[in-house]
Chain A
Amino acid sequence: MMHTASHAEPVLSAQRVTLRAGTRTLLDAFTHTFYAGEIWCVAGPNGAGKTTLLSTLAGLRQAFAGHVELDGKRLADWHAQQLAQRRALMPQSAPDTFSASVLDIVMLNRFPHLTGWGWEREADRAAARAALDLLGLTGLAARDVLSLSGGERQRVALAAVLCQQAPLLLLDEPLSHLDLHHQIECLEALSEWTREPRRSVLFSCHDLNLARRFATHALLLDGNGAAYAGPVRDVLTPALTSRVFGYPLILIRDGDHEALIPAPRSRHESALAHDATARR
């Protein structure tokens, strides 16, 4: 593996991690070390275990076998509060039941930093405002979360994990519901955020082209036990993605720009598909 000297600090390491869903083995004895400064895209078909892997790496669930180490210490041995200051997890969705301002919701992620009776200090408010500012959400700070659109809600959730100020971010589909413009803005904000020392990001994502553009590395899960990890352009290749997603993908080029796109169906295939729908 190629790592520049400044990025050589190991952060998170999966040791023979096996994940199962029922009797299905999603991931089989996966061993890999993630380093500081890397931005990982976790990709794979639906149900391949992206969410399960992220929550296992975050320490929210036990692996079926194997274990995860953060800074050389097993996750199970971490103190809960220190772990929450070290890594942040953004789940796919978080329920909003009651009215609350966006600022209040973002500030909830300061929980690991609270002391005494658990009231926020000025530093906590400043961190929340900075996170909102980074994602261009300052104008929404006073809005009721119940009035937000799906995309706005997603950006608020991202601001919340950033305000937690943990050097390792685990993000479960942070780009879902976002329009193209905001997808790119969020990824730019994350790239910017990762430039500080010791920071790294793992995010799951279905847009392979955004991943190829913004991630430094990719982890491709096939959902049957295999995982391919490495620099993003070595992993998100037409050959590998076609095999994992079970659909042919091709790489097209326009000057310096590249894009992975689904191959057009052959006439024969589309005729078969048409037949199948007509018969239903």
Chain B
Amino acid sequence: MNRYPASLPATLHAMSAKRAAAIWLVLALAALVVLMASLALGSVSLAPSSVIEALSPLHAPASQGASADLAAEIVRTLRLPRALAGFACGALLAMAGALLQVLLRNPLAEPYVLGVSGGAASFALVAMIAGCAWWLVDVSAFAGAFVSILLVLGLARRELWRGEPQDTSPRLLLTGAVIAAGWGALITLLLNVAPDNRLRGMLFWLTGDLNGNAMPWTALAALVVVLVAIVPAAPRLNVLLRGDAVAQALGVAVVPLRLRVYLAASLAAAAAVTTAGTIGFIGLVVPHVLRLAFGNDQRMLLPAAALGGGVAVMGADLIARLVIAPAQLPVGVITAIIGVPVFLWMLLRAPR
């Protein structure tokens, strides 16, 4: 009994370079629109023309008067770095999620599942309790993420290294999950012993916050590194999804590829966590929404996840700045409020 026609339907076509490029173009345009909105909207709203003027390198402060100066100042030093940081973090988180879902062959994997964010958070909280400067908190967070990466790598090295056609992913996942649980306990301990006057900042850090972000460059640099490391490997990742044996039989060196994916995903998560704390749900929801819409071809999906994740976090941060303006919410609250119902709907909807 076959409900499907005996001949191939004309609409059935696999992903092609052309189709992927069209998807990327649409997402890039969406990113541009959200970026413009992020620069124009806020406690002081600006017309698109004055945003463009403020961005133009030829902008001459003296000729435009005080209000144009203020607009340029807001756009250039406050909104642009923050929007770019949001874009970079979203892109990194969505890519990290997509990569770990492939690596662990588990649709529920997300950037923090292997403990990267726990390590970053624990180290950052220690720095905050010690009253360190903000840049030291960032450095500390990155160090924590790195420690966590090395810890998982050290413990699960046999699973990553062993070049045998066996399925090693479950043990890697379990190792990461246990490490993450350990960090979780440490974070609770730190929150308990932290002095009251520092608790608010610590909680904001844990929810994911782009407020006062003036340094998008580390995250943007990490994004470039991850894209360069991963996009050329996308065809191999497609094959890796069919299991180690199939991938090896097709000529893919599975162990180096798995190591590369793990390191790229970890770097992405570490850079994002360092820049904006633990913004939830982006790494889970964005790749899945794109998969539902366009399929699971990694050649299309990984760049699309970068663009889509960027749009999502920039957009969520815009909402976080606007809903109770002039006060602001942490962006992680918005991504969770939107992400939880979206994810539950995806999980529980009737199968096609």
Q: Which residues of A contact B (CB under 8 A)?
A: 55, 58, 60-61, 80-81, 83-84, 88-89, 91, 93-95, 97-101, 103-105, 107-109, 111-112, 114, 117-120, 125, 129, 138-144, 147, 164
Contact = CB atoms under 8 A, between A and B. Distances in A.
Contacts of B12: 101, 103, 141-142
Contact of A120 (B14, B165, B232, B291): B14
Q: Residue among B7, B107, B249, B296 with the most chain A CB within 10 A?
A: B249
Identify the interface centre among B4, B7, B167, B250: most chain A CB within 10 Å of its CB: B250
Contacts of A108: 238-239, 242, 246, 250
Given A58-B249, A109-B250, A111-B250, A98 B8 contact: no
B193 interface: no
A195 B246 CA distance: 26
Nearest to B165: A60
A138 to B, nearest CB: 6
A91 B299 contact: no
20 contacts: A61-B165, A80-B252, A81-B251, A84-B249, A88-B249, A89-B245, A91-B246, A94-B242, A94-B246, A97-B105, A98-B101, A98-B241, A109-B246, A119-B16, A119-B17, A120-B14, A138-B7, A138-B8, A142-B12, A144-B352
B73 interface: no
A95 B165 contact: no
Contacts of B246: 89, 91, 94, 108-109
Contacts of A80: 251-253
Interface of B: 2, 4-9, 12, 14-17, 101, 105-107, 164-165, 167, 232, 234-236, 238-239, 241-243, 245-246, 248-253, 291, 295-297, 299, 351-352
B250 A112 contact: yes
A105 B238 CA distance: 9
B18 to A, nearest CB: 9
Nearest to B287: A98
Contacts of B351: 147
Contact of B4 (A98, A119, A139): A139
A63 to B, nearest CB: 13
Contacts of A100: 295-296
B212 to A, nearest CB: 39
Contacts of B236: 111
Contact of A95 (B7, B15, B238, B243): B243
A60 B251 contact: no
A95 B299 contact: no
A82 to B, nearest CB: 8
Contacts of A103: 8, 12, 14
Contacts of A144: 352
Contacts of A105: 242
Nearest to A132: B8
A109 B106 CA distance: 22
A194 to B, nearest CB: 19
A144 B106 CA distance: 18
Given A94-B246, A119-B16, A84 B251 contact: yes
